[in-house]
Amino acid sequence: MGAATLQVANPSIGTVSRKPQTTAQGEGGPGEPFNRSSRHGQVAGPLLAGQQFGFLWTPLLKPVPGWLREFTLYVSAVGGNGATTAAVAAADAPWNVVANCYVKDPFGQLIIQADGYSLFLIDIYGGQSGMLGFGNNPATIPSFSTIASTGNFTMRLRLPLEFDTDGYCSLSDMNAASQPQITINGAAAATVYSTSPVPTLPTITTQLDEPYWTAPIDHPELAPADPGSSAQWSVAKTATGVAANAFQRLVLPRVGSFIHTLILVLRDSTNARVDLFPTSDIQLWVDGVPLLIETMNERADLMFERHGVARPVGVVCYTFRVSALPFASNADTHDMILPTTPGTLLELAGTFGNITNAPGQLFVITGELFPVGGVPYTHLAS
């Protein structure tokens, strides 16, 4: 059961396992790698201005002449006026203007299910955006502007598809009649602002661009490795709440795949992020055995060394994308990715702090890899 789950696509656990919409399947041809014959391109995707907070956006995507690498989402709040009452940002703003984001492949398979703040953390810690302090923090890129007194802001989030620099897990998108689907739910103004601007709330502009790999002109039979493989992200909450000042072993909810990243967000009962993880004994357990036992200072130092970003309040990350380099990278060779089966018991353990508004809630952002052709590093051998 375990081998079949890990190596054979299984829709019941969220794998894609579908060949791309082209006759080119897998690497081949003259023997040169796909990414040597292809180039990076981008299609300017849909844009919609004048939306109100709480918007629902289902953009009509365009086909690309190749394989989608990611979607690039820009969200701007414009036209606000805080002359009477200045806007004050809420704790997770402006990222939380995206209440939910769903990305499905052309066959309806869910690839990304996350809220805006989770997408912000995926950009930082997922190893699919930028590298070690260069481009992996959406709050430091040139286009970003934090919430002003007017309530206006601009932010960019990546919705990643490809897993590494050779296009592995990129999504074929050359059939205009069968396109990926994206649904974005906007949050209410009261979620984004702890104090809304008066007299005028901004309106929201959303723009979605489509970076892709071009289809090789000289060798059209070439395609990214292991076509149909999928790198997926999801957000779920542990079934058990987090008690104050208690030792607990919390079962993490997503297993049955190759896990490359675990991002844990601790919130209290009011949904505020709280930094009350175990301080002297934060532990990651696999099948009843402690894999990592650390102090919180050690975990925080490793997070900085591997991602180059100061740790946000209430956030802990475990990355398994450090096989090739000492930091998380899309140049990783995947050797250290954590294999799990549906029977794997994955737990976070330790003595949590004094959560005033108990019980706490542990949200788990899981980065998973579903290879079609076997273990996820086999495509690198060629």
**9 lies in a domain?**
no
The confidence score (pLDDT) of residue 133 equals 61
Q: What is the pTM of this model?
A: 0.90
The confidence score (pLDDT) of residue 134 equals 72
Question: Which of 12-21, 115-124, 131-140 holds the top average pLDDT?
Answer: 115-124
CA–CA gap between residue 168 and residue 149 (Å, rounded): 43
CA–CA gap between residue 328 and residue 304 (Å, rounded): 11
CATH code of the domain in which 256 resides: 2.60.120.730
Residue 268 · residue 362 · CB < 8 Å:
no
Q: Residue 230: helix, strand or coil by DSSP?
A: strand
Q: Are residues 220 and 343 in the same domain?
A: no
CA–CA gap between residue 256 and residue 293 (Å, rounded): 23
Mean pLDDT of the chain: 89
**19 lies in a domain?**
no
Q: Are residues 208 and 243 in the same domain?
A: no
Q: Are residues 133 and 165 in the same domain?
A: yes
**49 lies in a domain?**
yes
Q: Are residues 214 and 270 in the same domain?
A: no
Q: Are residues 168 and 290 in the same domain?
A: no
The confidence score (pLDDT) of residue 330 equals 83
pLDDT band, residue 378 (cuts 50/70/90): low
pLDDT tens digits for range 2-35: 333 333 344 333 445 544 444 344 444 456 788 8
The confidence score (pLDDT) of residue 380 equals 57
**Domain extent at residue 358:** 238-371
Q: Are residues 219 and 285 in the same domain?
A: no
Q: How much is the average pLDDT of 150-158?
A: 98
**279 lies in a domain?**
yes
pLDDT tens digits for range 295-323: 999 999 999 999 999 999 999 999 999 88
The confidence score (pLDDT) of residue 25 equals 42
Q: Are residues 220 and 253 in the same domain?
A: no
* 171 phi, psi to nearest 5 deg: -110, 120
The confidence score (pLDDT) of residue 22 equals 43
Q: Are residues 197 and 281 in the same domain?
A: no
Q: Are residues 47 and 102 in the same domain?
A: yes
DSSP 360: B
Which of 203, 226, 249 lies at the terminal end of a domain, its last residue? 226
Which of 226, 250, 283 lies at the terminal end of a domain, its last residue? 226
**232 lies in a domain?**
no
Q: Are residues 173 and 262 in the same domain?
A: no
CA–CA gap between residue 306 and residue 328 (Å, rounded): 6
Alpha carbon separation from 199 to 50, 59, 84, 85, 149 (Å, rounded): 17, 30, 6, 7, 12
Which of 226, 257, 278 lies at the terminal end of a domain, its last residue? 226
Q: How much is the average pLDDT of 131-158?
A: 92
What token pair was written down for 97?
């203007």
Residue 223 · residue 368 · CB < 8 Å:
no
pLDDT tens digits for range 219-260: 878 888 888 899 999 999 999 999 999 999 999 999 999 999
CATH code of the domain in which 114 resides: 2.70.9.30
Q: How much is the average pLDDT of 271-292?
A: 96
Q: Are residues 108 and 151 in the same domain?
A: yes
CA–CA gap between residue 160 and residue 155 (Å, rounded): 16
Overall domain count for the chain? 2
**382 lies in a domain?**
no
pLDDT band, residue 119 (cuts 50/70/90): very high
Q: Most distant CA pair in the chain: distance in Å?
A: 67
Residue 89 · residue 147 · CB < 8 Å:
yes
**209 lies in a domain?**
yes
Q: Residue 231: helix, strand or coil by DSSP?
A: strand
Q: Are residues 40 and 174 in the same domain?
A: yes
**261 lies in a domain?**
yes
Strand partners, 85: 198
